[in-house]
Amino acid sequence: APRSTDAMTAPRPAGIPVTVRAPAKVNVQLAVGGLRPDGFHDLANVFLAVSLHDTVTASPCDTLEITCTGPGAAQVPLDDTNLAVRAARLLAARHGRAPGVRLHIDKDIPVAGGMAGGSADAAAALLACDTLWGTATPRAELLKLCAELGSDVPFALAGGVALGRGRGELLTALEVTGTFHWVFALADGGLSTPAVYRECDRLREAAGTGFTADEVPAPEPDPELLAALREGDAGALAGALANDLQPAALSLRPALAATLDAGRAAGALAGLVSGSGPSCAFLTADAASALAVAEALEKSGTCRAARTATGPVPGAAAVDGTVG
Ligand code: C5P
C-alpha cells in the first residue's frame, strides 16, 4: 500500500474540480500621483487583505463556461469582460492550449465596491485553472499574468500586506504584526474605478494644483503608517489611514460622508472610503468593538449592510481537500 506521504507528492489526477478562494482588500494608504501618458496613475498603494472572500471553482469542460452566485451576482458580467474569463483565456494562451474550463464564482465580496472583488476572481481563476490544467506556471509568471489582468490582481494572489508601486502592480511584501479588526459599510450600487480617478484629476485641476504626472509629486508610503503595521498598533494605524481617492468618491457619492460619520460616532478608531469606493472601511480596537460598530452602522440607515472582517489574511489559495 502507498505510504501516506505519497499522496502529497503524487501528480494530481486530471479532471477533478479545483476550488480556490481569494480575499478582498482594503487600501490603508492610497497615495495617488499624477495622470500618466498611458492613462494610469502612479501609486503608493498599501494593500491589506481582509477576510471577505470570493470562491472560484474550475471544472473540466470542452468550452469556456462561467456562472456566478451570491449577493450581487446579477451585476457580474458573464461575458468575455469577466476578469475570471480573461484570466482563463490568458493562461491558456500562455501555454498554447484551449481554454476549456467551467468556472463558477461564488461571490461574497461586494461588486464594484472598491474592495477588488473582480481582481480576487481573476487571481482565483488563474490559480484554479493552472491546477486543473496541470500547467504548473511558476509563481513569478503567475504574478506577471495577474498584472496584465489588472493593477490590483497581483495583490489578490499575494495577500497579506504589501506596498504596490507603479500602477499598483509592483509589489513589495510589508512586515506586519498581529491582526486588525475591520468593519465594512456596503453601499447600494457600485462606483466605476476609472470614473473615480477621472474625478480625482478633475478636482485637482479645479484646485489649480495640476493633475498630470509632471505636476503632482511622486506618491510615497507614509513611514508612520509602515511603523504602525510593523508594530501592530491599531491606534497609530487609525491615525495614518489615508486615501487620495476619498475626495473624488465623496464628490461622486456625497451620501458617503454620513456613512463615515456614523461609523466614527459608533466608536471606530477611524474610517475611510475603501479604494475607489463606495464601500467604507472602519478600523476598530478589537472584535467586540467591530461587532458594535457594524450593528450601529446597520441601524444608522447610512449603508445597505455592514460586515466585520479581520486582516491581514493570506492571498488566493486552494480550499483544503480540492488539491492534493
Ligand atoms: O488596472 P485596472 O484595470 O484595475 O484599472 C482600471 C482603471 O482604473 C484604469 O483604466 C484607470 O482608469 C484607473 N487606474 C488608474 N491608475 C491606477 C490604477 C487604475 O488611473 N494606478
How many A from CA of 101 to the centre of ligand 1? Answer: 28
In a domain? residue 117: yes
Of the candidates 25, 42, 107, 201, the residue annotated as catalytic is 25
Residue keyed to cell 476578469: 83
Q: Is 8 annotated as a binding residue?
A: no
- Do 140 and 250 belong together in one domain? no
Pairing of β 161-165 and β 41-59: antiparallel
- Do 153 and 210 belong together in one domain? no
Of the candidates 42, 54, 130, 152, the residue annotated as catalytic is 152
The predicted pLDDT at position 15 comes to 78
- Do 185 and 163 belong together in one domain? no
Q: Is 116 annotated as a binding residue?
A: yes
- Do 125 and 193 belong together in one domain? no
The predicted pLDDT at position 10 comes to 59
- What's the helix, strand, coil split of the chain in %, to 5? 35, 25, 40
Q: Point out the residues of the chain with pLDDT beneath 50.
A: 1-7, 324
The three-point CA angle 305-238-30 to 5° equals: 80
Residue 275 contacts residue 30 (beta carbons within 8 Å)? yes
In a domain? residue 323: no
- Do 132 and 233 belong together in one domain? no
pTM of the model: 0.94
Atom number of ligand 1 nearest to Cα 32? 21
The yes-or-no answer on residue 152 being catalytic is yes
Residue from 121, 151, 211 to probe ligand 1 pocket by mutation (most atoms less than 8 Å from CB): 151
The yes-or-no answer on residue 244 being catalytic is no
Residue 221 contacts residue 31 (beta carbons within 8 Å)? yes
Atom number of ligand 1 nearest to Cα 166? 21
How many A from CA of 210 to the centre of ligand 1? Answer: 19
Atom number of ligand 1 nearest to Cα 150? 1
- Do 141 and 273 belong together in one domain? no
In a domain? residue 5: no
- Do 199 and 154 belong together in one domain? no
How many A from CA of 104 to the centre of ligand 1? Answer: 26
- How far apart are the C-alpha atoms of 120 and 5, rounded to whole Å? 32
Question: Domain holding 61: CATH number?
Answer: 3.30.230.10
- Do 111 and 205 belong together in one domain? no
Phi, psi of 181 (to 5 degrees): -105, 125
- How far apart are the C-alpha atoms of 232 and 228, rounded to whole Å? 6
The predicted pLDDT at position 72 comes to 86
Question: Domain holding 221: CATH number?
Answer: 3.30.70.890
Q: Is 242 annotated as a binding residue?
A: no
- Do 21 and 159 belong together in one domain? yes
Nearest CA to ligand 1 atom 7: 194
Q: Is 279 annotated as a binding residue?
A: no
Which range of residues forms the domain containing residue 278?
Answer: 180-311
Nearest CA to ligand 1 atom 10: 194
In a domain? residue 93: yes
The predicted pLDDT at position 2 comes to 44
Pairing of β 242-243 and β 161-165: unpaired
- Do 236 and 269 belong together in one domain? yes
- Ligand 1 pocket residues where CB is under 6 Å: 39-41, 43, 150-152, 167-168, 193-194, 197
What is the H or E stretch that residue 103 is in?
strand 101-106
In a domain? residue 157: yes
Domain count for the chain, please give it: 2
Nearest CA to ligand 1 atom 12: 194
In a domain? residue 194: yes
CA distances from 119 to 16, 27, 52, 69, 96 (A): 24, 14, 13, 17, 24
- Do 162 and 93 belong together in one domain? yes
- How far apart are the C-alpha atoms of 233 and 284, rounded to whole Å? 11
3-state secondary structure of 48: strand
Q: Is 136 annotated as a binding residue?
A: no
How many A from CA of 27 to the centre of ligand 1? Answer: 15
How many A from CA of 289 to the centre of ligand 1? Answer: 34
- Do 152 and 186 belong together in one domain? no
